[in-house]
Structure 1
Amino acid sequence: MDSLRRAFMWTGEAKASGADCLIAWDMVTRSKECGGLGIRDLAVQNRCLLMKLVHRLHNPVGSSWAMWAQEHRDVPSMDGDVAGDRWEAIRALLPAYQDVTVVDIRDGRTTSFWRDDWLHTGRLADKFSALYSHSRRPTASVRAVMSDGVRAHLVPRLTRVADEELSALAVALQDVSLS
């Protein structure tokens, strides 16, 4: 699609050679404030729109699609019985979404225990990295871990460092209650 846009912009035709292009495409897609022409980069636009779908999955209020998807997918991991390129594209954006959001856990069903920032102190996977490396299911939801207990989601034998981190995590989880 971008090749058609480039060709049309520079020649008005369906095809163009490099000699026809007056400036590099990355300059064309920069905002006018940054010295570009303000033409939208379709790949970036697509990622932004898919990120809105990831957000909708985590905030399904009023969205029949998101409620349906929650029934067929495990939202914290995006695993489930729905497959396809579009789902994989949405799933690929989940880590980026988790990097830029802080979560109000509510019932904890759509919140990743390890990868979401739901204690508002950073992601547990980063804060307790040794313990995270011992996790049986790194994509488990807060609800699953809190109902089963953290120990049930870890391998049977922990390193000394992981055991120390488990004690620190237990203190951090003392006041957590799900709605």
Structure 2
Amino acid sequence: MARAVLVNSVLDSLPTYAMMALSLPPALITAMDSLRRAFMWTREDKVSGADCLIAWDMVTRPKECGGLGIRDLAVQNRCLLMKLVHCLHNPAASSWAAWAQEHVDLPSMDGTIAGDHWETIRALLPAYQDITVVEVGDSRTTSFWRDAWLHIGRLADVLPALYSHSLRPTTSVRGVVNDGVRAHLV
């Protein structure tokens, strides 16, 4: 029984810790799911399809949807990385976010930071903008077109014809206020 507790603890905490900091490769997620599946059905290192009582996609569904509520590691990884994007846009409690804001233009996440990890985080920006509403604040970190900062929604969605004529679709509200709208349109 001690092995079961140890394996369960490691399989539950190790992926979460790693997923908070980096995007896990699909092959690693597959390998971890294979171990979780084997342990769940047989308490061994390997399992055959005949030993599995329920399809894995059903196992990872929430209990309310008829599943067993086991976390889908790919979804959890994406969600934890999305927390980093949120942390960047709310840097009050994070030294890392404050540092990153000095090196990056937050509306576009372009800047001097480079690497695969940063590209993964930057790729999540559109999804983050889709699910958040922004208080303009100093207007430097708010995307004029892609953030929902007006009660009518995102300007890119409300005014698609005007957005299609934008010279800089990632410009901030401050950029448009300083330069004027005409300077940002074709």
Question: What interval of TM-score do these two structures reach, taking the shorter chain for normalisation?
Answer: 0.7 to 0.9
State the alpha-carbon separation in 1 of the partners of residues 121 and 155 from structure 2: 23
Summarize the alignment of residues 68-147 of structure 1 with structure 2, pairs less than 5 Å apart: 68-147=99-178
Shift of 1:58: 0.9
Counting matched residue pairs gives: 155
Q: Which runs of 5+ in 2 are unaligned?
A: 1-31
Residue-by-residue CA offset, 1:97-146 (whole Å, 9 max, x unaligned): 11111111011111110001111211111111111111111011111111
1:38-93 Cα shifts (integer Å, max 9, x gaps)? 21111111111111111111111121111111111111111111122221221121
Runs of 4+ in 1 over 3 A off after TM superposition: none
Identify the match of residue 53 of structure 1 among 59, 74, 84. 84
1:87 counterpart letter in structure 2: W
2: CA distance, partners of 1:120 / 1:87: 31
Letter in structure 2 aligned against 1:91 = R
Tell me the equivalent position of 1:6: 37
Give the C-alpha shift of residue 35 in structure 1. Answer: 2.1
Task: Give unpaired runs (5+ residues) of structure 1.
Answer: 156-179
Mapped to 1, the partners of 2:40 and 2:86 lie a distance apart of: 34
Report which of the two has the higher share of helix.
Answer: 2
When the two chains are superposed, the root-mean-square deviation of aligned CA atoms in Å is: 1.3
Identity of aligned residues (%): 81
Q: Are the counterparts in 2 of residues 102 and 120 from structure 1 also a CA contact under 8 Å?
A: no
Letter in 2 for 1:93: L
Give the aligned residue type for 2:117: R
TM-score by length of 2: 0.78
Q: CA deviation at 1:18?
A: 2.1
> TM-score under structure 1 normalisation?
0.81
